[in-house]
């Protein structure tokens, strides 16, 4: 059997790392990159440097599937540095995707639920986008670019990703670190979303690639919850005192970027509807 050669641009991140470990466990050939968080098995690559991107791809013997979870994913940082966000979230992934396509690779890009305004979620793949912050605007722009220039690309939109990883980029871990020290955790009661486990996300994404899915696909968890509900569940599941979770409104944080409030994602494609227990092991 000929094995698929996967390339993961941003394998040091939350999604990329989970993808890397899962595909490797399945016996697939995987090459991954990091940017600022080195890992021994990964190659350093800055996607904002076109020559580095060219050299990286030129050095690969084969390129079958190119996963692009690499991004400037901090919503508030994007709001505060619009040029950096455009470079990382539009220009650089666009160039990576073009280069990957020229090498014959199938492009899989990770977008976001933040392309929606959160006025009347949950949203399906066909609903009109209307981002309310820079991060979402740039993700919408790269989605449109990819759909026009690389129509065979798979564009995955997840929402509020979490995992079992002991990594500060993982929401569950951040909550537990606070609770362990008996510190109260503020959690918003006015943001609704469909929290997405990395395990199910990666499973569905790989299935969609194998099925030859093209275009936009929503891959999200099966339940719609507030951030407060989610945080209480984490506390309960790990045996912490739920009274440490303090319900607050989004406005009380005075964040630079607006958040979709009544959000969340659903998919019209039945094979990619996630079920607890079947597609992932519940963390909480």
Ligand X SMILES: NC(=O)c1ccc[n+]([C@@H]2O[C@H](COP(=O)([O-])OP(=O)(O)OC[C@H]3O[C@@H](n4cnc5c(N)ncnc54)[C@H](OP(=O)(O)O)[C@@H]3O)[C@@H](O)[C@H]2O)c1
What residue ranges bind ligand X (CB under 6 A)?
A: 10, 12-16, 34-37, 45-48, 69-71, 73, 88, 110, 112-113, 158-161, 169
**Residue whose beta carbon is closest to ligand X:** 13
Least distance CB 158 / ligand X (angstroms): 5
User: Which residue, 27 or 228, is less far from ligand X as judged by CB?
Assistant: 228
Neighbours of 118 (CB within 10 A): 23
Question: CB under 8 Å to 149, separation ≥6 — which residues?
Answer: 94, 97, 98
User: Which residue, 161 or 232, is less far from ligand X as judged by CB?
Assistant: 161
Least distance CB 14 / ligand X (angstroms): 4
User: Which residue, 179 or 260, is less far from ligand X as judged by CB?
Assistant: 260
User: Which residue, 38 or 241, is less far from ligand X as judged by CB?
Assistant: 38
CA atoms 247, 249, 252, 254: torsion sign: positive
Least distance CB 90 / ligand X (angstroms): 12
Least distance CB 143 / ligand X (angstroms): 11
User: Which residue, 3 or 94, is less far from ligand X as judged by CB?
Assistant: 94
Least distance CB 109 / ligand X (angstroms): 8
User: Which residue, 112 or 235, is less far from ligand X as judged by CB?
Assistant: 112
User: Which residue, 219 or 232, is less far from ligand X as judged by CB?
Assistant: 219
| Measured distance CA(90)–CA(139) in Å, rounded | 7
3-class DSSP string for the chain:
CCCCEEEECCCCCHHHHHHHHHHHHCCCEEEEEECCCCCCCCEECCCCCHHHHHHHHHCCCCCCEEEECCCCCCHHHHHHCHHHHHHHHHHHHHHHHHHHHHCCCEEEEECCHHHCCCCCCCECCCCCCCCCCHHHHHHHHHHHHHHHHCCCCEEEECCCEECCCCCCCCHHHHHHHHHHCCCCEEEECCCEECCEEHHHHHHHHHHHHHCCCCEEEECCCCCCEEHHHHHHHHHHHCCCCHHHEEEECHHHHCCCCCCCCECCECCCCHHHCCCECCCECCCC
Least distance CB 54 / ligand X (angstroms): 14
Least distance CB 139 / ligand X (angstroms): 7
User: Which residue, 19 or 239, is less far from ligand X as judged by CB?
Assistant: 19
Least distance CB 182 / ligand X (angstroms): 26
């Amino acid at each position: 059997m000929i094995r698929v050669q996967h390339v993961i641009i941003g394998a040091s991140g939350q999604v990329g790392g989970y993808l890397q470990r899962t595909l490797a466990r399945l016996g697939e050939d995987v090459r991954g990159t990091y940017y600022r968080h080195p890992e021994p098995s990964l190659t350093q690559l800055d996607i904002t440097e076109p020559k580095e991107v060219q050299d990286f791809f030129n050095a690969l013997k084969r390129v079958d599937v190119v996963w692009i979870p690499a991004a400037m994913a901090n919503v508030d940082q994007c709001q505060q540095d619009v040029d950096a966000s455009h470079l990382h979230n539009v220009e650089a992934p666009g160039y990576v995707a073009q280069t990957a396509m020229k090498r014959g690779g199938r492009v899989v890009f990770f977008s976001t639920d933040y392309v929606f305004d959160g006025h009347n979620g949950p949203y399906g793949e066909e609903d009109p986008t209307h981002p309310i912050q820079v991060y979402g605007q740039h993700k919408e722009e790269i989605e449109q670019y990819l759909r026009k220039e690389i129509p065979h690309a798979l564009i995955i939109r997840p929402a509020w990703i979490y995992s079992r990883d002991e990594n500060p980029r993982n929401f569950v871990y951040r909550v537990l670190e606070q609770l362990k020290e008996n510190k109260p955790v503020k959690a918003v009661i006015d943001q609704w979303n469909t929290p997405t486990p990395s395990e199910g996300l990666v499973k569905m994404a790989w299935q969609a690639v194998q099925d030859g899915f093209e275009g936009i696909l929503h891959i999200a968890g099966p339940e719609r919850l507030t951030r407060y509900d989610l945080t209480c569940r984490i506390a309960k599941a790990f045996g912490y005192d739920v009274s440490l979770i303090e319900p607050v409104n989004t406005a009380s944080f005075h964040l630079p970027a607006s958040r979709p409030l009544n959000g969340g994602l659903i998919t019209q494609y039945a094979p990619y509807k996630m079920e607890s227990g079947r597609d992932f092991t519940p963390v909480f």
